Amino acid sequence: MFIGFDYGTANCSVAIMRDGHPQLLTMENNSALLPSMLCAPTREAVSEWLYRHHDVPATDEETQALLRRAIRYNREEILRLARKAYSLVWRRWRTILTIPRRSGLSNRQILFRRQRPETAAGRAV
């Protein structure tokens, strides 16, 4: 897979080689030009995105191997981020359950949690 970035001061564009000729890719709002602010977390993300969304072919063995590696890397990265997000959510819940005042709950919310729900609602069961 060959890709060319034209990173200008005001606009940039991306082209791929098709049939031996460069072809600009339509990026946003049916335009081949983007403001010169590109961001991608990894080069693997760019490779997979171009393959999936712009039909950039992976014809030779080397390109196919690079694409497979990019897809595998991206999948592992998604799993790593999901584990990290789960860990952050779990730590937050653990803090709320063990140290209610640090959770940002009001005194009334803390009191409600410590009582049986029926008692907190003013009803005897």
Secondary structure (DSSP) of 46-102:
HHHHHHHHH-----SHHHHHHHHHHHHHHHHHHHHHHHHHHHHHHHHHHHHHH-GGG
Q: Over 80: is that where the pLDDT of 77 sits? A: yes
Higher pLDDT, 63 or 101: 63
* 70 contacts: CB under 8 Å, gap ≥ 6: 43, 44, 45, 47, 48
Higher pLDDT, 17 or 115: 17
Q: What is the pTM of this model?
A: 0.39
Which sequence spans correspond to the domains of the chain?
A: 1-39
Region 90-119: mean pLDDT is 66
Q: Over 70: is that where the pLDDT of 27 sits? A: yes
For residues 87 and 89, what is the distance between their CA atoms, to the nearest angstrom? Answer: 5
Higher pLDDT, 84 or 106: 84
